[in-house]
Structure 1
Amino acid sequence: MEADGGLERDHETAAGSVEAAAPGDGEKNRLKWVMPLDAYRVDNALGDAAEGVLVEACMRDEGFDYQRPQVDVSVRSESMSLGGRRLFNVETAARWGYSGAPDPNAAIIRAASEESMSWSPEQDEQFWACVDEAREELPTEGMRINNALAGLGASAWNGAALDPAVVAAAEKWVTCMQPLGVTDLPSSPNGEDGGTPTETMSASFGEIADGMENERTPEQKAEEIRLATFDAECQESSGYAQALYDAEWERQTTVVAENEDALATLLEEKNAFEKQSREILDGAGVG
């Protein structure tokens, strides 16, 4: 089988073998990278939008003509998991390369940030005073809860990367990737010695790391998709993606069992925070 550009692969695309059950409580879904800890994670978009409603009201009460960013809380990046991790598989690689799908609200948030750069010192000072006031009514519980979950999940992720089945599959992935001729190829897609895309891979398609993407040529974007798709197919055919998912799922299941009381408390706090956020949004007529 030939890849774009004539490189021959010693593997077949295995996208059809990916577990694709619909996400649900306790259901594995590798395409969505569903994990046991996802059920406890706070939807920060709700909290951010609710805070924006409170800040807008405060600013207007203080005489400033301010409008909060009109984000749509019902949409998310198509390549973001419930756990807040960027998804990477054959499907996402073929559509968006390594970059992932854009955040549908990114342009709105960016425009609001740029507008704030022209504020007077008085307006800027009042804005932050209103943020403090908003957080007294709606504390930043979402960040605290998600940080706690990240701490619990870190050991599961790190342990999964070192699982013997994952390490063995990573060796097969390295062999599969050889036709690309990447000079700085790591020992694993997520290894301690780096992952993909590597520095040389990124340089070939113009990726930068400061969050602002330079204008790129169609050829550069095509190169990103070519490399990412090759990589994703190697992760499939080597068994790496499945082994990593299974290993992390198993470890997160153990984490949930060992932290049952603490997680029950976090779940109550999550539900209360999201309920309060929705009530604020409903009061402002935000769907």
Structure 2
Amino acid sequence: MSVDVTSMTAEDVPADGTASANGLIVMSYETGALPLDPYVQPDVRLQGYAHDVAMALCMKTEGYHYPVIEFDWNSPDATPSTRYRRARTPEEAQLYGYRLSPSDGDPRVREAGDYISSQPAAYQTQLGACADSVSEMDMFSTVVVGTNAEIAGIEENRPLRDAMQQWRDCMMPLGIPDLPEDHPGLAPSLASTWELNLPDSNALIDLTSLTSEEVTIAVQDAQCNASSGYDRLRYGLYWAAEDQILAENGPEYAARREQIAAQEQVFKDYILEHRDEL
């Protein structure tokens, strides 16, 4: 199942508030919702919770603690996960530059990672053994992942390429020699200077090291992105392509959603049965 968006234009992109082909998803650039979101995989927060419970039970048998990141799937705040992450606004860039904001990710994940990495060698050995054991459990070894959809032509789309050039022209006065050429964002030289070029860099969450230079560049980056229309158009192209795929393959995706829902129920049942044993 594939769609080529090379020849799509802004006129082919519906407006925010438009419902997907089957009415399950509403287009929203702010949230990044896409038509195929419900068909990708079980809720990663739910799957992660079940995985943590399984790991914690395994580690407990050897006298070790394993941090569990809980997820209340019945909470009104448990909104569906989305896959498209919109560009940062100038206001957000003013506050955070290119660093992670407090709303980016779950701080419990980093805290759990810090705890695990601080444990001695014996803990790490048992951790590896438990990870192998848990990965072989049926509920984790058969998880549906991916949309089974291919979207081609994003980088070749002429309106998007034009928007990219507008972004570069807008950024040129800053005199940055290695501005990205394929999509807006932080120049590699600056990412290296500010130590933001590694996914697990502590600088990503360290707002105390945020400089006025970084803020100035990040704000202009965000302003140029908004004025060029690049990110909104890119989101719109993904929306239009996915909605077309969904409209043409409705029965297949309905069956896929049933499979995902069944897997999510398995996770819930496991959590409810075992979480009180921790």
Conservation of the 8 A alpha-carbon contact between 1:33 and 1:87: yes
**In structure 2, how many angstroms separate the alpha carbons of the residues matched to 1:20 and 1:227?**
32
Amino acid at match of 1:212: S
**Per-residue CA distance 1:12-43 (angstroms, 9 max, x = gap):** xxxxxx95899993311111211111122321
Structure 2 equivalent of residue 186 of structure 1: 180
Conservation of the 8 A alpha-carbon contact between 1:38 and 1:82: yes
Structure 2 equivalent of residue 97 of structure 1: 97
Query: Is residue 2:66 matched to residue 1:68?
Result: yes
TM-score norm. by structure 1 comes to 0.72
Q: What is the correspondence of 1:7-18 to structure 2 with a 5 Å cutoff? A: none
Query: Is residue 2:269 matched to residue 1:268?
Result: no
Q: What is the correspondence of 1:53-202 to structure 2 with a 5 Å cutoff? A: 53-60=53-60, 63-73=61-71, 82-90=81-89, 91-100=91-100, 101-119=104-122, 123-124=126-127, 126-128=129-131, 130-132=133-135, 135-136=137-138, 138-142=139-143, 145-146=144-145, 148-149=146-147, 152=149, 155-156=150-151, 158-188=152-182, 190=183, 195-202=184-191
Identify, as 1 or 2, the structure richer in helix: 1
TM-score norm. by structure 2 comes to 0.74
- Quick one: structure 1 residues 281 and 226, their matched pair in 2 at CA, closer, same or farther if it must change by over 3 Å? farther
The alignment covers a number of residue pairs equal to 248
**In structure 2, how many angstroms separate the alpha carbons of the residues matched to 1:82 and 1:65?**
35
- Quick one: structure 1 residues 99 and 218, their matched pair in 2 at CA, closer, same or farther if it must change by over 3 Å? closer
**In structure 1, how many angstroms separate the alpha carbons of the residues matched to 2:36 and 2:162?**
26
**In structure 1, how many angstroms separate the alpha carbons of the residues matched to 2:88 and 2:17?**
12
**In structure 2, how many angstroms separate the alpha carbons of the residues matched to 1:34 and 1:262?**
20
Conservation of the 8 A alpha-carbon contact between 1:43 and 1:274: yes
**Which ranges of structure 2 fall in alignment gaps of 5 or more residues?**
1-14, 74-79
CA RMSD of aligned residues (A): 3.4
Segments of 4+ moved more than 4 angstroms: 18-24, 214-217
Structure 2 equivalent of residue 203 of structure 1: 192
SS at the partner of 2:62?
A: coil
Conservation of the 8 A alpha-carbon contact between 2:50 and 2:267: yes
**Which ranges of structure 1 fall in alignment gaps of 5 or more residues?**
1-17, 76-80
**Per-residue CA distance 1:176-227 (angstroms, 9 max, x = gap):** 1112211111334x2xxxx521212213423131523259684545443332
Higher relative contact order (CA 8 A, sep 6+): 2
Query: Is residue 2:20 matched to residue 1:26?
Result: no
